[in-house]
Amino acid sequence: MNYELMVIFTPVLSEEDYKAAQKKFADLVKDLGGELVHENPWGLKSLAYPIQKKTTGMYLVLEYTAPSDLNEKLTIQLNRDENVLRYMITHLDKYAAEYNARKRHGANANSNTVEA
């Protein structure tokens, strides 16, 4: 199954802490039996509304394939991490996964590919 994880970390993280947090969750996906497809750190962005009196957050988006029981274990670790303000795990259907792949490889990529 294809999934996408978006995590918003607290904005008070240093650059080293932010990179360590990225590595922690990327490694966690791998350790739990998932395969990382794409990692996209967005960096510091404004929040739509304040969370814990903070108006900005450090965003990270991970796209991965994994068995469905991985998400339960991942959720436990996300809830335990005090640097995580919010997170969202989204199941990607085949069309969303294809769209993300085309977006990564540029708009001129062959969009007529058919999966067997």
Could you give the domains of the chain? 2-104 (3.30.70.60)
Instruction: Say how many C-beta atoms besides its own lie within 10 A of residue 64's C-beta.
Output: 25
Amino acid at 9: F
| Separation between Cα atoms, residue 28 and residue 113, nearest integer Å | 32
Q: What is the pLDDT of residues 32-68, one digit of tens each?
A: 898 998 898 999 999 999 999 999 999 999 999 988 7
The model carries a pTM of: 0.81
Share above pLDDT 70 across residues of the chain, in percent, rounded to a whole number:
91
For the chain, report the end-to-end CA distance as a whole number of angstroms.
16
Q: How far is CA 63 from the centre of its chain?
A: 6
Confidence of residue 109 (pLDDT cuts 50, 70, 90): very low
Q: Give the closest residue to 78 by CA, choosing from 11, 41, 24, 114.
A: 24
Mean per-residue pLDDT, 67-89:
92
